[in-house]
Amino acid sequence: MSQTPYPKQLNKADFVDAFGSIYEHSTWVAEAVYPSMTPGIDAQSMAEAMRLVVEEASDVLKLELLRAHPDLAGRLSLAELTESSRSEQTGAGLDQCTPAELAEFQDLNNAYLEKFGFPFIFAVKGFHRIDILEAFRVRVHHSREEEFKTAIEQVHRIARLRLETIANEC
């Protein structure tokens, strides 16, 4: 496996290329955090720095971040997902849904998107598709404010898990 250089050893373009997908299709997070990266920074510290960038962003930018995420077990083929999303969804068994589960995921995805204006986001690593479906059934009934906050927290968890994966591969 190739070793990812310490963030400060990378120029900004290479850093964004290496870490820009930590927050799904939202390279602005990596661009904003780049100046604060120091040699040898650990995954937890980097995750916290990235989290702070997102937390300080406007609600409009946060909404764009949420909307950058794919539907879970949605209509997009696994080939259209980012490598990280494809691996995460496959690991949770979302590529093995029964026809009834897939239909329920699609119905919930549609209802959720219509109600909240962004896709259902769940950090699937370590969960089975049945657990995710149950959480989906509950969260679709949340208020928009509660769900916006929950979705952002899930995005942070996804980012932290992705950074930990990169750190473990080095």
Q: Which two tokens stand for residue 93?
A: 């068994």
Phi, psi of 72 (to 5 degrees): -80, 125
**CATH 1.10.3330.10 boundaries in the chain:** 71-159
Q: Which H/E stretch holds residue 136?
A: helix 129-139
What does the pLDDT read at residue 34? 94
**Alpha-carbon span 82 to 88, nearest angstrom:** 10
The topology (CATH level 3) of 71-159 is UraD-like (1.10.3330)
pLDDT, tens digit (0-9, with 9 covering 90-100), for 47-106: 999 999 999 999 999 999 999 998 876 654 444 555 666 666 666 677 788 889 889 999
Alpha helices, H only, 12-128 = 12-19, 27-33, 43-56, 59-67, 83-91, 99-116
Catalytic residues: 69
What does the pLDDT read at residue 82? 59
